[in-house]
Structure 1
Amino acid sequence: MVDIATRVWNHKWKIDPIVRSLIDTDFYKLLMCQSIFRNKPDTNVTFSLINRTKTIRLAELIDEGELREQLDHVRSLRLTRGESTWLRGNMFYGKRQMFRSDFMQWFENMRLPDYHLEKRDGQYELTFEGAWHEVMLWEIPALAVLMEMRGRAVLEQQGRFELQVLYARAMTRLWEKVTQLRAIDGLRIADFGTRRRHSFLWQDWAVQAMQEGLEDKFIGTSNCLIAMRRELEAIGTNAHELPMVYSALAESDADLAQAPYQVLADWQDEHDGNLRIILPDTYGTAGFLQRAPDWLAAWTGIRVDSGDPATCAEAAIRWWQDRGEDPREKLVIFSDGLDVDKISELHRQFAGRVKASFGWGTMLTNDFGGLTDGSSLAPFSLVCKAVSANGRPTVKLSDNPNKAMGPADEIARYKRVFGVGEQAAQAIKV
């Protein structure tokens, strides 16, 4: 097992680059990329880094030259033969050839496009612009680089023994969580922690701890590289990015209202009926379910990613019942701001009512708050989102209005089109 503290102390970034592979990313990004490659190849999209935690002034913590060096390294990466073989030949979700030959031929020769980096008011403005299926692959590496570089900035003054104690404390904290989760009968949980991890080495350690501690309760990881190396299931389906861009491309209010469902129609066609998980909260879960076509009720389940998770799951149960579906046969994936207590609470509440599963993210791979003196290592809310498509702004409303993004006039328009009423604001944890 890797001695993480020693690797941090003896740090040589060419030995431990923050991002070490094009598949050091979340599985859903590759699935979406293939769908976009097929359905929207000519769409031009801009992605932008957004730091929701303004008190963490990244441009004052992270050296610009070192940041550029890490980003340039990501641009130098190519898919290796072993990685290509794994993607082409491995079985994902019971399907042997998840990735088509035309997509793989492109991916094997793909190089991430250039980036634009500026400093403004103590923050970095980092943007990526180009063909949607190319620039979208920057999202996870960009977040991983900024999150880990912030951690390195905090740790660089620590001595060898301080680092040993820090990681010993972090390992103890995580193992105590694993022990608590091990006591939950029927638990199904996966690692969703790539985008805001403390580091690659720490995510890999956390996954190994979950493997040993939870055995078959641990169902896989969203990180493709770790899934390949540890012979685990790669977990993931789709994200808000798809309806955000499809909606921005809509020519009328009527087209806008149908855009989230067109996303899922294209998704179903792309995957021959597999990976049928609905993400309903981009423009409000209640309205999405109310207007959803009947064919969506037959899908496998939903992922709950904003708002109050219990409220959203109850809404999904009522929706299935109203359409003659048995909720006990449906999957609800909880994935927003989870930690052990919330996982335990939700599992108790929905056991026997749905097939509950959990995507455990930041508090699995980056729970270092309070483990150091002085500068905090607590996780913060950093995202990288599609902000425009073919020159039009994107909008996200979410079930939590604190997560809404987009120009004010467009937010008002989307609320009108999607019939979004009063929403309960919740603090954004990560």
Structure 2
Amino acid sequence: MIVSSLLDTDLYKFSMMQVVLHQYPGAHAEYRFKCRNPGVNLEPYIDEIREELQALCSLRFTESELEYLRTWRFIKSDFVDFLGLFQLNTKYVEIAPSPQGNGEIEIYIRGPWLHTILFEVPLLAIVNEVYFRNTHPGLDLSEGRRRLREKIALLRDTPGYSECRIADYGTRRRFSREWHREVVTTLHEGLGAQLTGTSNVWLAWQLGLRPLGTLAHEYLQAHQALGPRLRDSQVAALEAWAKEYRGDLGIALSDVYGLTAFLRDFDMYFCKLFDGTRHDSGDPFVWGERVLAHYQDNRVDPRSKVLVFSDGLDVPKVMKLYEHFHGRCQLAFGVGTNLTNDVGPTPLNIVIKMVRCNGQPVAKLSDSPGKNMCEDDAYIAYLRQVFDIPILAEAESAA
């Protein structure tokens, strides 16, 4: 059984789920799976993935898990009570070979947002582990351990970087559950305070670490169908978040419509209200400079705000970003695949993205075109028009 606890997921799933319970309990969502690696044949493993999905849907939150969740100050008691009754259901998930017959698989998740939001992370972890245990059975992890030790030594022992800290963001694309635990345990022992925590709630609980996360793209995408008019959807999403958390979990995600569109909406009110912003696409140095300038233009001291970097990071890139921005703002770095799936074989680049909400198409138009995902070209064109987004998203990061 690959996933043995419903806590074995990322924190932002729970923080978003609480908003859904309180503000959008009737919303309907649709998600789609995509493997971005060309030529990967997942079709032979469909039955195994389905078996693991059945096992996932047999899980319930235990009393000790619920008590752990109650210790978080931003979690409401009624939400924990709801989770005490909660169980995932296989009827919301469809897994099938691609009709193109190319070895790809299709995974669709359709159902009430409240009852489908927790599928994404464990399902991706399941696909990863099923794939690697079949394609690389009994892999010697000594190479992975060697690479991990080098990363720890580089960050810990390089002069001038003692205040540079990282977090584990690697649940979705980990090599395996056991390797994920070994990685985070080794990081905790080797880095001490330079490891700020993990996005994985179960590991945070088991290892006494801080769970980290706020919101994901799906939350802002859903507001394209839930908010008032489309042009105001980003503002509506941020307002709803502030209403729920009253200052907690104050990191805004900046790349659902690209940075230019985000900064148009992220006015002085939001600059002061939110603790910081998170980067997840485009050139991180360009992004950081523009965000810091935006804070200054809105009479906010950038040194009081956090820039969170989380897009395809490794330790050397973290250190370059730290060197560039250190002292000008507060910094946080989330490293994912390069920590939890750097053992030799090429990692899978797989995602599950929301594509519809309440029957309407939703989309992300980030500063990295390869991350965009929508099934309706006409809606993409309309979204670009409404938010004044260039046809080539690359223009965002070059602006």
Per the normalisation by structure 2, the TM-score is 0.94
Shift in alpha-carbon separation, 1:35–1:249, aligned structure 2, 3 A: closer
* Aligned equivalent of 1:264, options 229, 235, 238: 238
Amino acid at match of 1:262: A
The letter for the 1-side match of 2:383 is Y
**Correspondence for 2:270 among 296, 299, 311:** 296
In the other structure, the counterpart of 2:261 is 287
The one-character-per-residue Cα deviations of 1:21-80 (angstroms, maximum 9, x if unpaired) are: 0010000100100011111100111112111223112114x2x32221100000000001
> 1:401·1:425 contact (CA, 8 Å) conserved in 2?
no
Q: 2:294 aligns with which of 319, 322, 329?
A: 319
Match of 1:391 among 359, 374, 396: 359
Give the partner amino acid of 1:155: H
Change (3 A) 1:342 1:72: same
Counterpart AA for 1:323: N
Give how far 1:123 is off: 1.6
Q: Note if contact 2:21-2:114 (Cα within 8 Å) is conserved in structure 1.
A: yes
**Equivalent position to 2:95, from 117, 122, 127:** 117
Aligned residues: 385
Contact preservation (8 Å) 2:306, 2:331: yes
Given the alignment, which residue of 336, 339, 348 partners 2:323? 348
How far apart, in 1, do the equivalents of 2:231 and 2:303 lie?
30
What's the CA shift for 1:425? 8.3
Residue 306 of structure 1 pairs with residue 288 of structure 2: no
**Pair 233,250 (structure 1): closer, same or farther in 2 beyond 3 Å:** closer
Query: Once the 2 structures are TM-superposed, how far is the Cα of residue 112 of structure 1 from its aligned partner?
Result: 0.6
What residue is the counterpart of 2:222 in the other structure? Answer: 245
Q: CA deviation at 1:202?
A: 0.8
Match in the other structure for 1:7: none
- Unaligned residue ranges in structure 2 (runs of 5+): none
Aligned ranges for residues 104-253 of structure 1 at < 5 Å? 104-114=80-90, 115-120=93-98, 121=101, 122-156=103-137, 158=138, 163=139, 166-182=140-156, 183=158, 184-250=161-227
TM-score (norm. length: structure 1): 0.87
Q: Is the 8 A contact 1:58 1:150 kept in 2?
A: yes
The alignment yields a C-alpha RMSD, in angstroms, of: 1.5
Provide the identity percentage: 37
1:76 alignment partner, SS class? coil
Q: How does 1:376-415 map to 2 (within 5 A)?
A: 377-406=345-374, 407-415=376-384
Where does structure 1 differ by over 4 angstroms across 4 or more consecutive aligned residues?
Answer: none
Q: Residues of 2 paired with 1:276 and 1:75: CA distance? A: 32
Q: Give 1:381 deviation, angstroms.
A: 1.3
Q: Is the 8 A contact 1:249 1:392 kept in 2?
A: no
CA distance change for structure 1 residues 291 and 84 in 2, over 3 Å: closer, same or farther? Answer: closer
- 2:29·2:112 contact (CA, 8 Å) conserved in 1? yes
> Quick check: 1:103 aligned with 2:79?
yes
For the pair 1:333 / 2:308, whether they are aligned, the reply is yes
What corresponds to 1:80 in structure 2? 62
Distance in 1 separating the partners of 2:221 and 2:320: 31
Tell me if the contact between 2:164 and 2:319 (Cα under 8 Å) persists in the aligned partners.
no
